[in-house]
Every structure is written in structure tokens, then in C-alpha cells.
Amino acid sequence: MSTGYEPLNTLKPVGEGIWLIDGPAIRFYGLPFSTRATVVRLENGDLWVHSPTRMTEALKTELEAQGPVRHLIAPNWIHYAHIADWQAAFPGAQAWAAPGVAARAAGKGMELRFDHDLGPQAAAPWAGQIEQIIVEGSAVHREAVFFHIASRTLILTDLIENFEPSKLPLWMRPLVWLAGITDGDGKMPPDMAFSFRDKAAPAEAVETMIAWAPERIILAHGRWYQGDGAAELRRAFRRTLRRRA
């Protein structure tokens, strides 16, 4: 089905040394969610891939022209579905998992190999180039968040969802409107927000993101923000920040 973000499965430049890949829709709770990966070329030429989407032969060729794929990032417990396909395409790549990913995959009967855990500090291969934190405080959702310093791009997964109604099936539009995650006021979906028992933890994480002063914010689902990144964070997390204040 169309996602509205065609062409799919191809590199799209975001800035110097950073691209996104719009992937096909996946079903989550029966709803078709558009998908998006982010690719960063590190200073040594290696490619770092956040939330890999569907692999195709044409995409593999495009990536190989940009550099060797060395790092595959599973940023939270529901973004790992295509890791195995990328490992098969790029046997030299290392897979990195956020807290909860390996257990979730095993619980779904998937035999995935993860080489490293993601922690609250940037891992050595990208330290000084990509900042990193883990957003804690939820019983289930712990997400690794990244900031590509050179392009001032914040890379989120599900902490903000920003669906454009015109790109959705008619039957899905009222559902995302009721959830409050339509374009214009995209934010954390309510089921995720409810899972945060420690309200201070996400507020601290958002303040760190704002301090990074991002210009862009790439999201996994819906329209991403090409400008005013810090302002979009203040808007999307205004209730979280207000509670902390």
C-alpha cells in the first residue's frame, strides 16, 4: 500500500553525511504505520543505520556506494523487525540493541543476534559524532535517542509520532486524531505516555535534547521536522516540561 512518502527503499539526503530511507508500511495493532530509517556516515567512512527498514537489492547497492554498513541500531523494543535481513546483507555489521529489544524479540520467537547493548553514553565507534541517551521512566518503553552533531539532527523513533491525515486510509484518520498524534501537534502517543511512571525521567531527557539545539528531527512515523527542532520539542513535550517546572 502507498504510504505517501514514495519513493520507498532509497536513500534521501538530509544533510552532509546523513540520509533517510522511507520504508513500506508495517502493521502495528492492525494499523498501517509508515516506517523510516536514518543513515549516518561516520568520520571513518562507516555507515551507521538507525531503525533499519526493508532491505532490497537496489538499496543494498546504494548503501555500498556510500560506504560499508557497520552499525545497525535497534532503538527500542518494537523496532528490530528487519535487523536479520540487514545482517544477512552486510555480514560485517554489528547490531546494537536498546534495553528490552532482545527480550521482546525472543518473546516473539525471533532468533536475532545482537552484538552490543546501547547505554546512556555514546558508544566508542561514534563518540564525539553522535550524542546518545536512553529515555527511562517507563515500565516498557526505553528508547535510545541520538543527535548527529555535524548536521544538528535529532533522531527519534516513537517518542513523537506525527501522522499526516491526508496520507492515511480514511478509516484510520479519526483514530490518530483521537490519539492526538496528527501533524500540526504530533507528540508521544497516549499509551506510551501512560506507561511512564517516573515523570521526571522523560522531562530530564527532553531537556537534554533541547540543550543539543537540534535544527531537524527525524521521526520513524509521519512527517519529520526539517526546521525549528528545539521549538518542536518544547511544543510536543509541553505537558512533560510543565509538570517538571
CA separation for the pair 51, 186 (Å, rounded): 20
Assess whether the previous peptide bond of 7 is cis (omega < 30° from 0). yes
Distance separating alpha carbons of residues 157 and 145, to the nearest angstrom: 8
- Comparing C-alpha atoms, which of 56, 52, 44 is closest to residue 19? 52
102, 114, 100, 199: which is closest to 142 by C-alpha? Answer: 100
C-alpha cell at 140: 516498557
Q: Does the model's pTM come out above 0.85? A: yes
- Domain spans of the chain, in order of start: 11-244
Contact (Cβ atoms closer than 8 angstroms) between residue 38 and residue 52: no
The per-residue pLDDT for 245 is: 65
Which segments of the chain are extended strands (E)? 11-15, 18-28, 31-41, 47-50, 69-74, 94-97, 116-117, 130-135, 143-148, 153-155, 216-218
Question: Hey, is 130 helix, strand or coil?
Answer: strand
- What gap in Å lies between CA 203 and CA 197, rounded to an integer? 12
**11-244, what's its fold?**
Metallo-beta-lactamase; Chain A (3.60.15)
Q: What is the pLDDT along the chain (245 residues), one digit of tens a residue?
A: 789 999 999 999 999 999 999 999 988 767 788 999 999 999 999 999 999 999 999 999 999 999 999 999 999 988 888 999 999 999 999 999 999 888 888 877 787 899 999 999 999 999 999 999 999 988 889 999 999 999 999 999 999 999 999 999 999 999 999 999 999 999 999 989 999 888 888 999 999 999 999 999 999 999 999 999 999 999 999 999 987 76
